[in-house]
Amino acid sequence: MPAETRLGEFELIAALFAPLAAPGAFGLTDDAAVLSPPGGGDVVMTKDMMVAGVHFLEEDPPDLIARKLLRVNLSDLAAMGARPFGYALGLSLPPGIDDAWLREFAAGLAADQREFDVLLLGGDTTSTPGPLTLSLTAFGAAATGRVLRRTGASLGDAVFVSGTIGDAALGLLALRGEVDDPGNYLAGRYRLPQPRIALGAALTDTASAGLDVSDGLVADLGHLCRASGVGAEIDVERIPLSDAARAIIDADPEKIDLILGGGDDYELVFTVPPKRIGHIEREASSLGVPVTRIGRIVAGEGVHVLDTSGREIMPRLSGYRHR
Ligand code: ADP
Ligand code: MG
């Protein structure tokens, strides 16, 4: 596309982003936005960045890139038990990004704004000689002081996870053609995470601690254990698997390492005091979100994965770290 037909920075903001804006963002025509969290209370904030070549490929569908960028942030809010209401967007665009790409990107945001009831509050747009770099800051509302922290797990608490674990890591293998993925189920789980917002909000009253699974089940539960000053045991056969993941593990049991250590599932892992287990199971079922008890909080430190005979398994992947 010739350079003259490209939208300039201000046209881009007016054409593609202003229609997505919250009332407090003044149509993205002023210098900053005013935040009014619905229902008052605390504002909960999180930011995640995504870099082409590190978190996604520049040739991935732009609408899916946008939706994943938004959803990984909404998952952090869900993990705090907050209800998302808005977000700010940072774009560093290399020359190869054209208007068609940006339109699809904005359409992806529009779709998820409707799905998750959030609005755009503002952002910044720059050009860059480096890779396409995206940053999103999401804002949520919580009743004052009522967020779900990583601290607070106690001896004897049950360890739960939502949904199924390991699908995203296997989905990445499927996208590389390394495993079968009938119906592209696993690839879909990798590309379009499902933030557990309603469950997270319900957990603020019942769970003792929680976080979302972005680095990998063992690594993230390890973060919770460190923050709470406890250890955890999980029973490998209780970890909930999708049918697609189960078929892969049955054919190649070594891939259990990806279930334990692969990231990007964006499910919640949380701990529940024994007397509140029945309550949380009923609440999750009324929300239509599957939750599974996979283990317990123990004295000591670290996460111990046990096989069916109670022997410890040593997972070979310990979670993704950028540095
Ligand atoms: P300044 O130069 O003062 O930072 P900008 O021109 O960057 O102002 O921003 C003008 C308005 O457009 C602001 O409300 C800002 O939040 C909004 N904006 C700029 N880039 C984006 C973007 N990528 N997404 C959403 N809003 C944006
Ligand atoms: Mg600016």
Instruction: List, in order, residues 6 or more apart from 273 with CB less than 8 Å away.
Output: 154, 156, 157, 208
Nearest ligand 1 atom, CA 90: 23
Asked whether the predicted pLDDT for residue 320 surpasses 60, the reply is no
89 close to ligand 1 (CB < 6 Angstrom): yes
pLDDT at 4: 46
pLDDT tens-digit profile of 160-199? 999 999 999 999 999 999 999 999 999 999 999 999 999 9
What is the dotted CATH code of the domain comprising 9-142?
Answer: 3.30.1330.10
Find the mean pLDDT for residues 114-135: 97
**From ligand 1's centre to the CA of 136, what distance in Å?**
13
Q: Within the chain, which residue ranges are assigned CATH 3.30.1330.10?
A: 9-142
Question: 167-175 and 243-251 helices cross at what angle (nearest 10)?
Answer: 70
The dihedral formed by the CA atoms of 75, 242, 174 and 63, expressed in degrees to the nearest 10: -40
Q: How confident is the model at residue 91 (pLDDT cuts 50, 70, 90)?
A: very high
Location of each CATH 3.90.650.10 domain in the chain:
158-313
Beta strands 83-93 and 158-162 are unpaired
Q: How far, in Å, are 64, 169, 179, 238, 245 from residue 235 at the CA level?
A: 34, 20, 25, 6, 17
CA distance linking residue 46 with residue 42, whole number of Å: 13
CB distance 45 to 121 below 8 Å: no
Q: Which residue's alpha carbon is at the smallest distance from atom 18 of ligand 1? A: 123
pLDDT band at residue 8, thresholds of 50, 70 and 90?
confident
Residue listed under structure tokens 């119906």? 183
End-to-end CA distance of the chain: 38
Strand-pair category, 312-313 with 302-306: antiparallel
Nearest to 295, CA basis, from 277, 320, 318: 277
Residue 96 Cα to ligand 1 middle (Å)? 21
Query: Do 260 and 304 meet the contact criterion of CB atoms below 8 Å apart?
Result: no
Query: d(Cα 172, Cα 55) in Å, to the nearest integer?
Result: 11
Cβ contact 66:56 at 8 Å: no
Class of CATH domain 158-313: alpha beta
AA letter at 270: F
Q: pLDDT value at position 39?
A: 87
- How does 60-89 read in b/e, with b if 16+ C-beta sit within 10 Å? eebbbbbbbbbbbbbbbbbbbbbbbbbbbb
Ligand 1, pocket-test mutation among 103, 113, 125, most atoms within 8 A of CB: 125
* Least confident range of 1-10, 33-42, 163-172: 1-10
pLDDT digits (tens, 9 = 90+) for 125-163: 999 999 999 999 999 999 999 999 999 999 999 999 999
Here the tokens at position 233 are 């045991």
Q: Is the pLDDT of residue 93 over 70?
A: yes
Predicted confidence at residue 205, as pLDDT, reads 92
- State in Å: Cα 28 to ligand 1 middle: 6
pTM of the prediction? Answer: 0.93
Please spell the DSSP secondary structure of 218-264, one letter per residue: HHHHHHHHHHHT-EEEEEGGGS---HHHHHHHHH-GGGHHHHHH---
Number of the ligand closest to the Cα of 10 = 1
CA of 120, closest atom in ligand 1: 25
